[in-house]
A and B are shown apart, each in its own frame.
Chain A
Amino acid sequence: MPVSKKYIEEIKNKARKALDKPAIYGEDIDLKKFQKHIERGKIESLELLPELAKEAALMAGVDVEEKERIGSYLQMDHSVVYKRLNKLYEGKVELMSTNEAVEAYDWLEEYFWRIVQPDTDKYTAQVALNPTHGYFIRILPGQKLDYPLQTCLMIAEGYISQNVHNIVIVEEGAELHIITGCTLSKTDATGIHLGISEFYIKKGGKLFFTMIHNWAENFYVRPRTAVVVEEDGVYVNNYALLKPVKSIQSFPTVYLKGDRASARFNTVIYGLKDSYIDLGSKIIFEGKDTKGESLARTISDHKSVIYSRGDLIAKTEEYCMGRLDCRGIIFSKNSAIYAIPQLISYGANKADLSHEASIGPISEEQVEYLMSRGMTKDEATSLITSGFLNLDIPFLPEMIDKHIKEVIEMTSKESM
């Protein structure tokens, strides 16, 4: 049974009223520029992707051989071109497009547009009115899988608006790792990626979510994400942006609803060319003994502008602990970093919130130290830079960790 028509209509009505509503942060984008609709045919294997697309997928962390993946979901422009779940995991995890899930499950109403509101701004409204898939992933109670599931949202053509809506449900006691690569295979394309993500982590569940963003100079990105974590649940969000983008703005929110729920954000941002980057994380502490951490490392080069936001908001009368650690390095005189940590306590008299924010240059002392070992100034700077961005991220599969490190190294060398 599909989600009720009445509910869908309610969503759309709300959205219609917000079609011209600008977002709180980031430049206002005229969505009328991006009207093209492009459908693509299905492929049998990720290895059969066209060369450019395959390369883009690889760079976004996709394993095209799928050796160490329990399944894959790849969307190109407005079509789901590939979707496969390893047979071993059938009955343990569900994978489909959100459009399909809306048709299949009436109970999806409890998860669909519940923690992200369709009338938040013009971008959520656009997705509510013209959804073009996105993934629906549900892992069944108690299931713990050996490998990550991978998804890739790709754009291969200019002037389109990719309006995806992703829903992830981690049932009680289950554990899941998702790797998502969002990328462009046509690097000079202008367009926009709008992504609604609603993640639900039930009692004792764990979700490790790793996202690699590889955009390009003319591309706009506006994700809208919210996560609910119940009792004893864990959410870990790893995010890397190491390529230029026209502008990106996102401020994912995690609600630590259950007692002892925890969340951690690890964010690595390299601002290149004219990128306008406004990214952050918001953790709301509602349960007792909840714990949240947000670590961000940002480097601004060329003419990039980076806003690095972090909000910790305590709403519980019981103990909770939150920590923000955001550090930036200014690389170029023409770039800018705004580090904006914010701690808010609503009468949470047992809450322990702290932040550490810093912006500074590359340490001369470190550069000279490495130069005395025979490195050139550029080599030393690039090593320090990649070290700075090298957050030791727990639970990250080795391959992805290696991949991110390689990209960081490449980026820091190229930008010298």
Chain B
Amino acid sequence: MIKKLQEGGIKMAEMLRVKNLHVSVEGRKVLEDINFSIDYGEIAVLFGPNGAGKTTLIMTLMGFPKYKIEKGKIIFKGVDITHMDVSERAKLGMGISFQRPPVVRGVSLRKLLKIVGNGKTDEELLHYAEKLNLTNHLDRDVNDGFSGGEVKRAELLQLLMQKPELVFIDEPESGVDLENIVLIGEMTNHLLGRDQRVKDVKRSAIVITHTGYILDYINADKGYILYNGKLMCKGNPRDILSEIKKNGYRRCATCQ
């Protein structure tokens, strides 16, 4: 990892910088004055009650047009991407796992993976499909009739082929049974390069979690609480989790 190299005033260790970000959805203000950064290889966990704006934040970072940036900037790998579209951001190295992805009829998962993998070998595709128990889903239409766990695994499989440098993962454990949680946890850890020794394969991530189960599998570096559209506190993700488990988000209200 390159550390603290100065270039145009931006630390090269910093992969993502969000400055003074204000976001509205369909005319309603959702996020207010968000400021934070993610370093290369860093995993951040985003906590917060329902409706706090967690999904809005990662959808905005990915560039979905429904999420309107009213003010502020997003810098990714030293490039101002505030006005780039989803596709350009993906090409630059961002990737996202959807909570509820749409069905794409007539397009097989295999076909999509080949396009997403862009030149990666069929062996790699089959290897990951097997690891994620999705071999029998490859010739089915994307997400068509997939169960909660299958959807999550298919999202992970796509990301494993896409290999983004910064990954947004929205509640990997929701709607998933225990057996699947282990598999999804382990494969997420693999995607983020945390089970490998070589340093340079490490990816950065922002992970949204309600339950915190995923923390048993990935070694997250820091945590944030998003409350009422504002980023409230930053700290050790396990500490934040145990605080939430003890007191819920009540104390966030007093913090405001």
Give A residues with C-beta under 8 Å from B.
Answer: 363, 365-366, 368-377, 379-380, 383-384, 386-392
Shortest CB-to-CB span from A410 to chain B, Å, is 16
4 smallest beta-carbon distances between A and B, as pairs = A387-B106, A390-B106, A387-B107, A371-B87
CB-nearest residue of chain B relative to A383? B107
Q: Are A368 and B106 in contact (CB under 8 A)?
A: no
Provide 10 A-B residue pairs closer than 8 Å at the C-beta atoms, listed in order of the A residue.
A371-B86, A373-B90, A373-B95, A374-B91, A374-B118, A374-B162, A387-B106, A389-B106, A390-B107, A391-B106
Task: Please state if B90 and A372 are interface contacts (CB–CB under 8 Å).
Answer: yes
Pair B105/A374 contact, Cβ less than 8 Å? no
Contact partner, A366, options B95, B102, B158, Cβ 8 Å? B102
Task: Tell me which residues across on chain A come within 8 A of B91, comparing CB atoms.
Answer: 374
Residues of chain B with a CB closer than 8 A to A387's CB = 104-107, 141
**Taking the complex as formed, is B233 at the interface, i.e. its CB lies under 8 A from any CB of chain A?**
no
Contact of A371 (CB < 8 Å), options: B85, B98, B141: B85
- Given A368-B64, A387-B141, answer yes or no on A376-B87 (Cβ-Cβ < 8 Å): yes
**Given A368-B65, A389-B106, residue A377 in contact with residue B101 (CB < 8 A):** no
Q: Is the interface of B mostly helix, strand, loop or mixed?
A: mixed
Chain A contacts for B86, CB-based, 8 A: 368, 371-372
Evaluate contact between B85 and A372: CB separation under 8 angstroms: no
- B62, B64, B87: the one within 8 Å of A375 (CB): B87
Q: Which residue of B lies closest to A375 (CB)?
A: B87
Q: Do B116 and A384 touch (CB < 8 A)?
A: no
CA distance A374 to B92 in the complex (A): 9
A-B contact count (CB 8 A): 66
Distance, CA A43 to CA B44, complexed state (A): 72
Q: Is the CB of B102 within 8 A of A363?
A: yes
**Minimum Cβ distance to chain B for residue A72 (Å):** 31
Is there an interface contact between B98 and A369, defined as CB atoms closer than 8 Å?
yes
Interface residues of B in 105-129 (CB under 8 A from A): 105-107, 112, 115-116, 118
Please, which residues of chain B bring their CB within 8 A of the CB of A383? Answer: 104, 107, 112, 115
Look across to chain B and name the residue whose beta carbon is closest to the beta carbon of A386. B106
Collect the chain B residues with CB atoms within 8 Å of residue A366's CB: 102, 104
Interface of A is mostly: helix
A365→B105 contact, CB < 8 A: no
- Count the B residues whose beta carbon is within 8 Å of the partner chain — how many? 24
Within 8 A of A (CB), among B56-85: 62, 64-65, 85
Q: Does B96 contact A (CB under 8 A)?
A: yes
Which of B102, B106, B116 interacts with A388 by CB under 8 Å? Answer: B106
- Which of A365, A375, A384 interacts with B115 by CB under 8 Å? A375
Give B residues with C-beta under 8 Å from A.
62, 64-65, 85-87, 90-91, 95-96, 98, 101-102, 104-107, 112, 115-116, 118, 141, 158, 162
Instruction: Give min CB distance, B229 to chain A, whole Å.
Output: 23
Instruction: Please name all residues of chain B whose beta carbon is closer than 8 Å to the beta carbon of A389 when the two chains form the complex.
Output: 106
How far apart are A180's CB and chain B's nearest CB, in angstroms? 24
The answer to whether A377 touches B107, judged by C-beta atoms less than 8 angstroms apart, is no
CB distance from B159 to the nearest CB of A (A): 9
Once the chains bind, are A365 and B141 in contact (CB under 8 Å)? no
Given known contacts A368-B86, A387-B141, is B105 in contact with A373 (CB within 8 Å)? no
| Minimal beta-carbon separation of B36 from chain A (angstroms) | 21
- Check B104–A369 contact: CB distance below 8 A: yes
Let me know if A377 and B87 touch, CB within 8 A: yes
Contact call B104/A373, Cβ cutoff below 8 A? no
Assembled-state Cα–Cα distance A374/B141 (Å)? 19
**What CA separation (Å) do A386 and B108 show in the bound complex?**
11
Taking a contact as CB atoms closer than 8 A, the residue among A370, A376, A391 that contacts B104 in the complex is A370
C-alpha spacing A375/B91, complex, angstroms: 8
Residue of A371, A377, A379 with most partner-chain B CB within 10 A: A371
A369 to B104, CA, bound (A): 9
Known: A373-B116, A392-B106. 7 other contacts (CB 8 A): A369-B102, A370-B112, A373-B95, A374-B90, A374-B91, A384-B107, A386-B107
Least CB separation from B103: chain A residue: A366
* B65 partner residues in chain A, CB cutoff 8 A: 368
B116: A residues at CB distance < 8 A: 373-374
* B105 contact set on A, CB distance < 8 A: 387-388, 390
- Which of B95, B101, B141 touches A369 (beta carbons < 8 Å)? B101
B107 and A372 within 8 A (CB):
no
**Set of chain B residues within 8 Å of A377, measured between Cβ atoms:** 85, 87
A residues less than 8 Å from B162 (CB atoms) = 373-374
Interface centre among B62, B96, B98, B106 (most CB of A within 10 A): B106
Contacts of A365 in B (CB 8 A): 102
Looking at A373, A375, A384, A387, the one whose CB has the most chain B CB atoms below 10 A away is: A373
B contact residues around A376 at 8 Å (CB): 87
Considering residues A368, A380, A391, which has the most beta carbons from chain B within 10 angstroms of its beta carbon?
A: A368
- CB contact under 8 A between A373 and B158, given known A368-B65, A368-B86, A384-B107: yes
Smallest CB-CB separation from A376: which chain B residue?
B87
State the CA gap A371–B98 with chains docked (Å).
13
Contact A372 B102 (CB under 8 A): no
Bound: A188/B137 CA distance, A = 45
Q: How many Å lie between the Cα of A391 and that of B141 in the bound state?
A: 12
Alpha-carbon gap, A363 to B101, bound state (A)? 12
Q: How far is the CA of A387 from the CA of B112 in the complex (A)?
A: 11
CA distance A376 to B87 in the complex (A): 6
A375 to B162, CA, bound (A): 11
Q: Once bound together, how far apart are the Cα atoms of A366 and B8, in whole Å? A: 38
* CA A257 to CA B70, docked complex, whole Å: 66
Residue ID in chain B nearest A380 by CB atoms: B87
Bound CA span A261–B6, Å: 77
A327 to chain B, nearest CB (A): 10
The docked-state distance in angstroms from the alpha carbon of A371 to that of B65 is 12
**CB neighbours of A369 from chain B (8 A):** 98, 101-102, 104
